[in-house]
Structure 1
């Protein structure tokens, strides 16, 4: 029976069981005690937002700075995969999919609602209508721009790099490999994946719950449904989740990609419609000015905590900090999905596309819809849209009443929301199954159906009981610890990138430069063997020291004073050429040790290494330059290497521009 069960599922018990216990437990508490749980979770959320908001500000700022640094650094050329790997999807399909998963329903839900809410907020009532309109656009750009996508981009980049470059599972646990090494396979790795699975589930459930309410409201306004009620929401959820499951079962290459492409085309059609038939000149001018305003105030917005303005702090907590927490809480889901579709891209291409293209599209979208609504409110609607800002579910559809072809645009909007719903849900189902199975390549279809059923059931239970707000607060609370986890992602990614760059930049060993092939048999045995401390000591005494003594004899013939110095901790020998005004020239060889990879210890196709520590005769220089392993040098080759460095030394000290750098009073060994 156990064998049959194993064949029928790819779920990992160490991840799924604790995740389901926590998910179902939180949802049931939120559904049975919606008011009490909302009060408690709201109190925790408000405490975090008020007292620890600076963590979100600094964390998100760090994410932006780090990604911009990587984009312009030498690490930007590293490919997410093998050096010869190619992208799996066309650029258009790639952008469409990451865009649909990253913003989804929120783009439709807030495109009119957020600018109108900033515009009509009492906090800014002292400002003129023009200033309120400018600030509404500025804050919307800030919340939906580069900062949001930097959060997604960091998680997606970390996952894609370790999955495709290090060939680890496409899982959050893999991002900790530089710190935890093989421990990522155990309980620590399971804990990270449990957190990611719960966070993903909560984020998708609450977003889809709010999306269902907006679809129901739009259908009511269009007289397709008689009212907004739970029974109609049940039908909407069942229909949409069924589509999502079918899309998820068909996979990324078919369902998700096709729906994302259709959606981006529909979004562009709706955008061009509003731009063309709305206040076109006003929209183009306000967008142009808005971009300049965003760029000029980018840093002040980034670091502003409103600590000097008590009146705007509640608005800051309810908008900026809430958004940062919301994007962070969604980042495991969006990051996993972006990583899954980004194999073969370079780091520079990945960051540039993820930060700039969706942000720019969001700016255009929010400008066209938000500024159109504000323009209609000021010039046509006499403030009616401002009064509806507290009802975002219906606001977009009321906005379309001031446009021609109202029903057509409203139906197109509902279609876009539905497709956004499906693309968010199907990509979410794929990601959750990915986490729960430790990135199993093939899973039975019933697992996909199971995640869809669980999503729809819990979303409906919470909708009926009024517990969605409590679950949303729980989602925002989880963003605080995950922001710390994301900072650890930066540390791990940087450690891995440095190793990666050095690996591919490393040239042939300096030892191999003078090789002629005369001693190739001897060198073959040296290359495939590991030195002990004793054998390195023998090299120093029988090769390095005689080479330096021979050099000392030859230098004395031309009246150049040379000394041979020997050390014991670590064992070393060096040749030192005395100078009165400039630094003495020093070339030495010492016995150094370093830890050997545990994988090398287990390698059968190499000579046995008894200890994890290997020893090497390493060169060093008086000016502090980095030395190298010289174990393969013969005596004459070592003499040649010393003279090569001494020739360089003479060339440097002969140049007048180096006088300040080379003069020194540290020549104490000859005193």
Structure 2
């Protein structure tokens, strides 16, 4: 039987819309581009303030979370830890987020700002400073705040609430179970189409740059469409192969390799370019960016009509482009970010890629401006309008330029593959509602669709129409992202209150009546055998008595017991809410060397010590119960049960106590 994990409610309408838009763009590229361009220009001119305010809110919101009490919350259970090393994590999110763009615009954007007449005929120093400032602005914290908000929302609701890794899940605090119906499908269809269009146009432009570089190096005679077919066929084939191996292998390995190559190319240009000038201009440029941060953030150029067209074509276009890409990049970032704290996530996503982008744009962009002024006498300015070839023309001013150009092509190729394979992974993830395992033919299907449609659009000249379509979708999605903030803040408020909840006033503190017995326990040897015995006697007897008393009150409690490692728990099962669980397990703890050598501390074990750790079904912080008597342990269980009943009685805690997570993944 033909197996598939694709969800018809998401896949079918998405394919209809994608194919319809693509066919129109291929058959009527000029008309489609004209119509969509009119709509895009109307939005950019009349509704540009929506983008400005939206991006500003994203930055402010993430900075607030960074310094708030919510920053310590983990993207997952309280005891979860990251699945990937810090370097691999940064490499993957960086490669998926802006890889090809850095290679395409690293020289092109600063040079185009430098040669622009938008700011008047100012001195070249001011032109160079403005070029660097606005490049920092477009590729810095604001851009990554857009990606970061979507990635944070997705990973929080997926790993903390056990919801599907899907945009619909970000609305759960607002829509509750309605996210499983039509509204949820609409949100995912929007995300899938936006992701497909964004990747298709980016890959199309990436192919052109690769083809242009190969022509400049005389590897291919021209930029004929047949060569572009060959390039796409080979690279998408590699992307499919990488996607089939999964995130932990293909995507991670390629990302690590590429970041290493990128750093090597960066250092090459830094050392063989105008090094002192670059270090000084980076320092001054960073200070200039910090000083103008708020002016840039809220700037609309409303008082400077001469620069308005530039503002629409650059800043607003960038905000729309990053927003349209955020479902794809956000989903991928979320997929690799399980176990990070919110503070760690925001700090890493906002600062590290932004800082690297600043260094990259300074080294390449400012080198190009310096060469243009001091060596080339305006030669690079003359080709500033040809970004496909500009990077390679720039490298001609450096030694070993052919090797550097080959390295650049290799980096673009790997970025192409990592963007495509992570895109394939994300699209299949959306279309299947985060299925754990999908048949291989689906991965091949997504890769084939990307290759075929990007080539058709490239050949027919329909990429610009598709790009306009992608930018138009950014307007409604910016409003959706504002709702993400509302939803996330609501969930975080409940989350924090849930884990801060104290015991009720009816609970009693630890009694001091048995202090002599407790002192003996404190100084006694705490090896594994003694702790195992404590669990198998005191804890087991306490749980057995509790089980019998619960039964007397019409409550069915079960006891789960295992010997290696020694572990016992009492469980009260429920149908609509999470089970109540109170467990105890033998846990090892290291002892400091100085304590072992301390003569006033009797019977300290050289290999460490053990203690009975109480744990709970909702992964709250555990603690040591070794000094509890049987009755005190019974009392402690009842304290937690009393707290449990109080929490489940409050409707606002539904997200934490609902046990229908398996239904949400259907």
Fold agreement, TM-score > 0.5: yes
**Residue 145 of structure 1, aligned match among 128, 140, 151:** 140
Partner of 1:168: 163
| SS in structure 2 at match of 1:381 | coil
- For the pair 1:113 / 2:108, whether they are aligned, the reply is yes
Poorly superposed stretches of 4+, deviation over 6 Å: 527-530
Cα offsets for 1:254-288 (capped at 9, x unmatched): 00000000000000000000000000000000000
Map of 1:591-606 to 2, 5 A cutoff?
602=576
1:421-472 deviation per Cα after TM superposition (whole angstroms, max 9, x unaligned): 0000000000000000000010011100000000000000000100000000
SS at match of 2:77: coil
The correspondence for 1:380, drawn from 372, 375, 384, is 375
Q: Alpha-carbon deviation of 1:396?
A: 0.4
User: How many angstroms apart in 1 are the aligned matches of 2:577 and 2:275?
Assistant: 68
Distance in 2 between the 1:299 and 1:78 partners? 29
Question: 1:204-223 CA distances to partner (integer Å, 9 max, x unpaired)?
Answer: 00000000000000000000
Q: Which has the larger radius of gyration?
A: 1
Equivalent in the alignment of 1:81 = 76
* Residue of structure 2 in register with 1:38 after alignment: 33
Residue 225 (str. 1) matches residue 216 (str. 2)? no
**What is the distance in 1 between the residues matched to 2:129 and 2:481?**
33
Of 331, 334, 339, the residue aligned with 2:334 is 339
CA distance in structure 1 between the aligned counterparts of 2:300 and 2:576, rounded to whole angstroms: 53
User: Counterpart of 1:330?
Assistant: 325
Determine the structure 2 residue equivalent to 1:427.
Answer: 422
Structure-1 separation of matches of 2:205 and 2:244: 24
Distance 1:528 1:220 in 2: 83
Q: State whether structure 2 residue 152 is matched by structure 1 residue 157.
A: yes
Instruction: Give the Cα–Cα distance (whole angstroms) in 1 for the partners of residues 309 and 554 of structure 2.
Output: 67
CA deviation vs aligned residue, 1:283-338 (integer Å, no higher than 9, x gap): 00000000000000000000000001100000000000000000000000000000
> What is the rounded CA distance, in whole Å, between the counterparts of 2:162 and 2:219 in structure 1?
51
Partner SS, residue 86 of structure 1: coil
Instruction: Give the corresponding residue for 1:366.
Output: 361
Alignment match, 1:418: 413
Corresponding position of 1:285? 280
Cα deviation for residue 348 of structure 1 reads: 0.3
Give me the whole-angstrom Cα distance separating, in 2, the residues matched to 1:235 and 1:227.
13
Aligned to 1:212: 207
Q: Distance in 2 between matches of 1:280 and 1:528?
A: 79
Superposition pairs for residues 444-593 of structure 1, below 5 Å?
Answer: 444-513=439-508
| SS class of match (1:300) | helix
Cα distance in 2 for partners of 1:602, 1:468 equals 50
Tell me the CA shift for residue 503 of structure 1.
Answer: 0.7
What is the 5 A alignment of 1:247-326? 247-326=242-321
Distance in 1, matches of 2:214 and 2:553, equals 74
Relative to structure 1, the CA distance from residue 413 to residue 528 in structure 2 (aligned partners, 3 Å threshold; closer, same or farther) is: farther
Shift of 1:186: 1.0
> What's the CA shift for 1:504?
0.6
Residue 328 (structure 2) pairs with residue 348 (structure 1): no
Distance in 1 between the 2:93 and 2:579 partners? 44
**Cα gap change, 1:383/1:605 in structure 2, threshold over 3 Å: closer, same or farther?**
closer
**What is the DSSP-based 3-state SS (H/G/I as helix, E as strand, rest coil) of the residue aligned with 1:225?**
coil
Cα deviation for residue 104 of structure 1 reads 1.3
CA distances 1:374-410 after superposition (whole Å, capped 9, x unpaired): 0000101011101111000000000011110110000
Q: Distance in 1 between matches of 2:42 and 2:553?
A: 61
Structure 2 runs not aligned, ≥5 long:
512-544, 556-572, 581-637, 640-666
Q: Shift in Å at residue 512 of structure 1? A: 2.2
1:515/1:529 CA distance change after superposition, 3 Å: farther
> Aligned in 2, Cα 1:513/1:145: closer, same or farther, shift over 3 Å?
same
Give a deviation string over 1:321-358, Cα, whole Å, max 9, x none.
00000000000000000000000000000000000000
Provide the C-alpha distance between the structure 1 equivalents of 2:329 and 2:128, rounded to a whole number of angstroms: 31
Aligned to 1:537: none
Secondary structure of the residue that 1:394 maps to in structure 2?
A: helix
Q: CA offsets, 1:163-204, max 9 Å, x none?
A: 000001101111000011111111111110000000000000
Measured at CA, do residues 77 and 528 of structure 1 come closer, stay the same or move farther in structure 2, by a change above 3 Å?
farther
Does residue 126 of structure 2 align to residue 131 of structure 1? yes
Alignment of 1:16 onto 2:11: yes
Matched, 1:194 2:189: yes
Seen in structure 2, the aligned counterparts of structure 1 residues 68 and 600 have a Cα distance that, compared at 3 Å, is: farther
Per-residue deviation at 1:17? 0.2
Change in CA separation of 1:205 and 1:528 when aligned onto 2, cut-off 3 Å: farther
Q: Which runs of 5+ in 1 are unaligned?
A: 531-598, 607-631, 634-671
1:122 is matched with 117
Residue equivalent to 2:61: 66
SS at match of 1:507: coil
Q: 1:398 aligns with which of 388, 393, 396?
A: 393
- Aligned residue for 1:104, secondary structure, equals helix
User: Could you tell me which residue of structure 2 aligns to residue 240 of structure 1?
Assistant: 235
Structure 1 counterpart SS, 2:351: helix
Call closer, same or farther: CA 1:528–1:114 in 2, change over 3 Å.
Answer: farther
Match of 1:27 in 2: 22
Offset of 1:511 from its aligned partner? Answer: 3.0
Kindly tell me: are residues 281 and 176 of structure 1, through their superposed partners in 2, closer, same or farther at Cα, counting changes over 3 Å?
same
Q: How far apart, in 1, do the equivalents of 2:575 and 2:481 lie?
A: 33
For the residues of structure 2 that align with 1:417 and 1:432, how far apart are their CA atoms?
22
Aligned-partner SS, 2:122: coil
Tell me how far 1:529 sits from its aligned partner. Answer: 10
Shift of 1:602: 3.7
- 1:242 and 1:160 map into 2 onto residues whose CA distance is 29
| Residues 47, 365 of structure 1: alpha-carbon distance in 2 compared, 3 angstrom cutoff | same
In structure 2, C-alpha distance between the alignment counterparts of 1:85 and 1:512, rounded to whole Å:
30
In 1, the alpha carbon distance for the partners of 2:201 and 2:553 equals 59
Q: Equivalents in 2 of 1:288, 1:74: separation in Å?
A: 33
**Counterpart for residue 100 of structure 1:** 95
- Measured at CA, do residues 498 and 220 of structure 1 come closer, stay the same or move farther in structure 2, by a change above 3 Å? same
In 1, the alpha carbon distance for the partners of 2:577 and 2:473 equals 42
